A and B are shown apart, each in its own frame.
Chain A
Amino acid sequence: MLDRSLIGRRLPSHNSQVERGQLQFFAKATGASDPIYYDRAAAIEAGHPDIPAPPTFAFTLNQQSDDPFGFLRLLGVNIEDILHGEQEFTYFSQIYAGDQVTFESEIKDIYVKKGGALEFVVLQISGTNQHGEKVVELRNTTVVRRAEHAQ
């Protein structure tokens, strides 16, 4: 069983640079067809200051810490035992190439289903840009599969 006393634990904050080249690579890797996501001129033409980060890119920015799976170590979980359960984003403002986003994370919940075979860890993460403006909030739910309980 995961240690529920870790609920409320804050993880080290970190800062991510939003790089235009990485946004272009992300657009290519996901087969984006709208040029505002890979062509700066098209983005500017559409009224943006630069290439916008697509809706799920804040997850990528948050992964760019030195230790993106550090919370698993804290919980004593191996990476091969996890699945992504749910993912939620709440948007307050658009993130653009050139921004810097600071992420603050907290273990919001830990709960069990299926008699302990599946445990769930919920991280709540907020992202604030270089102007001190909260731009996004994420809720990441990770499922931990416990082989010794699985039937």
Chain B
Amino acid sequence: MTDRCSVSKGDGVIGCLTKEPITRTTLALFAGASGDHNPMHIDIDFAKEAGMPDVFAHGMLSMAYLGQLVTGWRPQAQLKRFKVRFRSITHVGEAVVCTGRVIETKRDEKGEVAILKLVAANKLGEIKLDGEAEVRW
């Protein structure tokens, strides 16, 4: 289940998407569904052996969430480019909050393109991923 959080629609805001807190089940399902079987995300024994206190979320899970924010705003066929930087680890129990806004528009040979600034953070506002997308509109 997900819900759309309420944000003001000013300043080019395209919306906000708050996901359910990440559980070990989320990570097990995402490992299977995404084909990323890196044990760091699903096997606590492996993670501890590698010096981590616990397993942590796949960065691509949060990128998929940001993708949902963008395709909830404009149809996916209009998405030209999508890029993120993974800034910090997302831990079990954290809920990812995705926000995006249009920071500029440009024209290319096929028409107008919006440049979006995207952020995935936890509920405290600590940034997990940030990035950009280019979307036709």
Binding site for B on A (CB under 8 A): 22, 25-26, 28-34, 52, 54-56, 59-60, 63-64, 68-69, 79-80, 83-91, 94, 139
* B72 contacts A by Cβ under 8 Å: yes
* A105–B64 alpha-carbon span in the complex (Å): 22
15 contacting pairs across A/B (C-beta < 8 A): A25-B32, A29-B26, A33-B72, A34-B72, A55-B79, A56-B67, A59-B34, A59-B60, A79-B40, A80-B49, A84-B60, A88-B81, A89-B81, A94-B76, A94-B77
Interface size class, chain B: 35 or more
| Total CB contacts across the A-B interface at under 8 A | 104
* B123 contacts A by Cβ under 8 Å: no
A87 surroundings in chain B (CB, below 8 A): 59-60, 63, 83-84, 86
**Within residues 77 to 132 of chain B, which ones have a CB less than 8 A from any CB in chain A?**
77, 79-86
Out of A60, A86, A91, name the residue touching B36 (CB < 8 Å): A60
Binding site for A on B (CB under 8 A): 1-2, 19-20, 26, 29-30, 32-36, 38-40, 46, 49-50, 58-61, 63-65, 67-68, 70-72, 76-77, 79-86
Q: Is the CB of A85 within 8 A of B36?
A: no
* Given A54-B67, A86-B83, A87-B83, A80 contacting B36 (CB threshold 8 A): no
Out of A25, A55, A94, name the residue touching B82 (CB < 8 Å): A55
B81 surroundings in chain A (CB, below 8 A): 88-91
Q: Is the CB of B86 within 8 A of A83?
A: yes
